[in-house]
Every structure is written in C-alpha cells, then in structure tokens.
Chain A
Amino acid sequence: MHLSARTRLILACAVLAAQAIILALSLFAPRVSPEYRAFFIEHTATVWHGDGG
C-alpha cells in the first residue's frame, strides 16, 4: 500500500497523539474507586515484570 509523504506524516502524528492521550489518561486520570486507588496505585510503585503474568 503506497501512502503519500503527507498522508504518512499525518497518520503518524494522529497515531502518536492518540497514544499520548491513552497514556495520559492511564497515568493521571484513572477512573477507579478509592479502595482500588489506595491498594493498587498508591500502595505500590509502577512495576514492570517480564513475563506478562
């Protein structure tokens, strides 16, 4: 599939912007209960274990 240079750039910017919004919402605006926040978010730092489980 051939995309023009302009389309390629617009597409890249749109996809990056959408991902930035997802990241910002996830990091700064979680929609969770106070109990969830206290136990899962504030109780522990972000953990990046390797096995997907």
Chain B
Amino acid sequence: MKLPRSLLVLAVLAVPVRLVAYWLAGLPFGPFADAMCQYDCGWYLRIGFSGYGADAEFANYGSLPHWAFFPLFPLLLRLTFALLHTTSELASQEVAGMVASNLLYLGFILTALAYARRTRPALDQRVLLLVLLLSPYGYFFSAVYTEGLFNLLLLAAVMMLAERRMLACAALTALLCATRPTGVLMLLPIGLECLHHLWQGRTRPDRVALLGETLLPLAIAPLGLSLFMAAQYIAVGDGMAFSHAQILWDRHWVGPITMLVHGITQLDWANLLDPKAPPSQSYDAAWAILGLLLAGFLAWRRRFVEAWLLAAGILLPASTALHSLPRFVATSPFVLLTLAQAIARVRVPRIRLAIFIVLGLLHLATLGLWFIGANSAY
C-alpha cells in the first residue's frame, strides 16, 4: 500500500525529532541512555550481549530467569550492535538498543499508516501519525523494549492475512511467536482462514495441492515458539521454561475475571501519587477494562481479528498479573487506530488541538515517571 511522499518524510523526521525532545526532557535525569533504560531493558541487553547462559544476577537462580524473555528482540539488539561497530561498553550497548528500537518504531509507524489506508481509508493519516507519536506510554517504542518489533510484526501479519497472503502472514507470525508469548494469538485467525480455504476448495480435484496450501502456513506460523522451546529443552531440559520462570516474578494463574475484579476493587489510586509505591492495581485494571471495551467496539464494527488480538492480548496477561497492562493497551496498534478515528471525527479544530495537547501532556507525564523509575510508568 503506497503512502504519500509528504507523509513518509514527516514520519521519518518525526522519530528522531521526538527522540531529541526526549533527550531534552531527560537532561535532569542523568545520561540519556541510562535514563531511558529502565526495568526489562537490562534483561534484553544482557541476553543480547551475554546470551541466555549468562548469570541473571537474580537470587541464586543462575541463568534460568533469562528464559522468560523471548529471543528475537535480543538477537536484533546484537545485530544492530554489530552493524554499528560500536565498542563493548554497556553505554554503547544501550545506544545500539535504542537505535534498534527506534528503527523498529519507524517501521511500525509506516506499517500502521499503510494498514490504516487499507482498512480505514477515510481516516486522516496526519491525525493517526500524531496519535502514534503522542500517545501516553509511547516512550516504550523508543526504549529498549519489544513494543516496536512486536506491534510492527503484528500489524504486518494482520495485513497479510487480510490480503490472503498466507505464507507471508505465517512467516511474520513465526517471528511474532519468537518475540512475545502472546504472538501465538495470531494462530487462531490463521487457523480459521486456513479452514475457510479448505472449505472453499472442497470441490477441487487437486486434493494434494489443497492440503499443502492449507497445512504449510499452519506449520510455519508457530515455528518461532517451537524453536525457542527446543532451545530451552536442550539448554535447561524444560521446553516450557519461558512459562515456568514466570514464578520468579510471582506470577501464578488466577484467571482474568478474578484478577480484574480484585484489581479494580483495591481502590489504591493514591499509589499513583507516590513514584516508589507499589503499582496501583485499580489503575492497571482500569486500563485493561478500557482495552476490553475497545475490543468490544471493534467486534461491533466487525473487525473481528483486531478485536480478538486486543481482547486476548489483555486477558492472557491479566490471568496472572495486572502489571504491564497499561503499556499493552496504550501501545496496541488497534487502540491507537481507534483513538485516531475518534479524534478525526472531531470537526472543531480548537477541540482537536486541545485533545492533542492533553495527549502530549499525558505522554510527557508518563515519560517523566519513566525517567525516575516510577512503578506506575511500567
């Protein structure tokens, strides 16, 4: 899907400009790369540069906690580092990580614009671009986190699915499954599309060709996860180590409904005011519920694949913990597209400007919390 040249130029310029704004905002918080590298950033860097076998420096569990983190992003960090020919100092690793993340973020923006042109042709793409740049928690795309890679692959896979290019969709899903555990959610739409293909071709005489066309995407799509499981089985004897290691972060199966009800009834909103307080469970649950309502709206608009990916992408992590849900919801491409559509419907320029100012202020507020390492920023 071809994009207008002016929009392409704007998008390409916007990412570094946003990064410069971050640098200016981060001046009081010490070296910029250090201020941007919070929480999981250190895990990804250590896995990328020292490998899964390195000591995780997490109690006396050796290298085991590393297996909770999926391999594609750390691999890309290492590749970017090699391409940049930087030194092996940690600061340079952080810079290489940020270069990788921001290139992936640019790829995500361009894919989102192309996807919107295909699925929402009436949407003003300048509005979407501003939403992609200004949304709260949007700094995760520029930090050493999987947001850019995962959402780029997710949108590209959904776009290929919509165009019935099943092998390309399956290959992208294989990469998605090697990025985050929720990559497997794409397997359901692929499976249903393959079944639909099989049903449509039920009268075809070439049964072997039909079966091959149906089964090959199904075989390719989960490969990223399967290869990661094989690597874990060889290295630590447990192919499900990525799941079992979650207990080290105190994550147990509770169930999404119980978890959301428990979270929203905690009424611990005051925790938001104290950066060092535990994360507010009510706040995290509120984001999850907002995301589920948007998923319901998408289903009502018959965007079933988007609705499934958004809803299941919330319910699955919410079955064990509420932490991270504001990030998952706020950076979801389907939430951002819906938000852009809602803003584009506002016809009064002043109100639209006011909405963007509020979005920008929320973005800055969450970025400030990130810089000081506040629990609610994660």
Contacts and interface: CB of A to CB of B under 8 A. Distances in A.
B209 interface: yes
Given A12-B215, A50-B313, A53-B43, A31 B251 contact: no
B233 A51 contact: no
Contact of B247 (A8, A31, A39, A48): A39
A15 B219 contact: yes
Contact of A49 (B218, B230, B320): B320
Contact of B237 (A8, A31, A45, A51): A31
A39 B245 CA distance: 10
A49 B251 contact: yes
Interface residues of A, number: 36
A36 B243 CA distance: 13
A31 B239 CA distance: 9
Question: Looking at B40, B146, B206, B239, which has the most chain A CB atoms within 10 Å of its CB?
Answer: B239
A26 B239 contact: yes
A50 B182 contact: yes
B73 A52 contact: yes
Contact of A5 (B212, B220, B232, B237): B212
A7 B219 CA distance: 14
B181 A52 contact: yes
B338 interface: no
Interface stretch (B9-17, B152-160, B221-229, B260-268): B221-229
B240 A50 contact: no
Contact of A47 (B209, B236, B247, B324): B247
Interface string B181-219: 110000000000000000000000010110111011011
Given A9-B208, A30-B237, A50-B328, A40 B247 contact: yes
Contact of A22 (B43, B229, B317, B324): B229
B238 interface: yes
B335 interface: no
B216 A50 contact: no
Contact of B216 (A8, A32, A48): A8
Interface string A8-51: 11011101101100110111001110001001110111111111
A39 to B, nearest CB: 7
A30 B241 CA distance: 10
Nearest to B312: A50
Contacts of A39: 247
B305 interface: no
Given A50-B317, A50-B328, A26 B216 contact: no
11 contacts: A9-B212, A16-B219, A22-B230, A23-B239, A27-B240, A31-B233, A41-B238, A47-B251, A47-B253, A51-B324, A51-B328
